[in-house]
Amino acid sequence: MGTDEPQRLGWDSWAMAIAGAVSLRGDCTRRQVGAVIIGERHEIISIGYNGVAPGEPGCLQGACPRGHLTMEQQPAGGSYANCIATHAEMNALIRADHERLAGATIYVTCEPCSECAKVAANTPLSQIVYADNGQLVKTFSDIQEWTRRERR
């Protein structure tokens, strides 16, 4: 095979590209986040992006207090008490058939917050994969161990 031949994406890159496309629907002035849950046989189980309930005014419409703050005023991470959106990971999990989560992997376009990680740890998911600036940088195959580490 020559170097000019098209290369096929690996499964992780493929799934993260889907999460990236899903993030384009995100309703946030600070960061658009996407998530996709992929089953053991590489089938899409669920998708989610950050946003408010259907029909409600969202961040892009100026309804979110956190969305009015600069990154200097409210750095990324920390408390999300002033955010009206449901995070991408939560939306993907809410919409998923719980019976299909055993052995599945959730791909997220950025590192999950501690609340999303705690919820994921209480599901049958086997892995969280996330990206930083579009690059796959971390995988955690032991979700419970990761959440214990995050609490320290």
Is the Cβ–Cβ distance between 105 and 129 less than 8 Å? yes
Name the token pair of 18: 């889907």
Identify any residues that bridge with 105 across adjacent strands, giving them in sequence order: 38, 127
Which is catalytic among the residues 5, 72, 89, 115? 89
Widest pairwise Cα distance in the chain = 54
- Concatenate the DSSP letters of all residues of 36-82 into one string: EEE-TTS-EEEEEESBPPTTS--GGGT--TGGGS-TTTS-SSS--TT
Return phi, psi of residue 80, to 5°.
Answer: -110, 25
Is 150 one of the catalytic residues? no
Q: Give the H/E segment covering residue 150.
A: helix 143-151
**Which residues form the catalytic set?**
89
